[in-house]
Amino acid sequence: MKRQKNSEFAYAKGREMRLAAELQRYQLTGSAAMGPLERKFFFSHDATLQSFFNKGWSSVTACEVRLHLGIDKPESGADLLSQIRRFRECLSQSQR
């Protein structure tokens, strides 16, 4: 397994913590909205690593949150083309 750079780790940790925060909000409020979370996460005193963390945090889409929460379940056994169409449909709904 390839060793991650610190910047890659910070980016991945930002995505991971965003999905965890959305899950916690969904469990507490029942809301799956992608609105701004009240709590700002501080990851590192290093501004560059904090920047990568923030980029990872912001890279999570509404569609990914719904899939993570189990609201939109992908069809099992579907071929690749139908999965791509479903993902595009999910993205277009989240941009409205």
- Same domain for 22 and 11: yes
- Same domain for 33 and 4: yes
Distances (CA, A) of 72 to 57, 69, 87: 21, 8, 10
Domain count, the chain: 2
- Same domain for 45 and 11: yes
Domain extent for 1: 1-60
- Same domain for 66 and 56: no
- Same domain for 77 and 67: yes
DSSP 1-19: -PPPPHHHHHHHHHHHHHH
Residues 28, 47: Cα–Cα separation, whole Å? 32
Residues 12, 56: Cα–Cα separation, whole Å? 6
* pTM flag (> 0.75): no
Confidence of residue 10 (pLDDT cuts 50, 70, 90): very high
Sign of the four-CA dihedral 37, 39, 45, 47: positive
- Over residues 55-84, the pLDDT tens digits come to 999 898 888 888 888 877 655 555 777 778
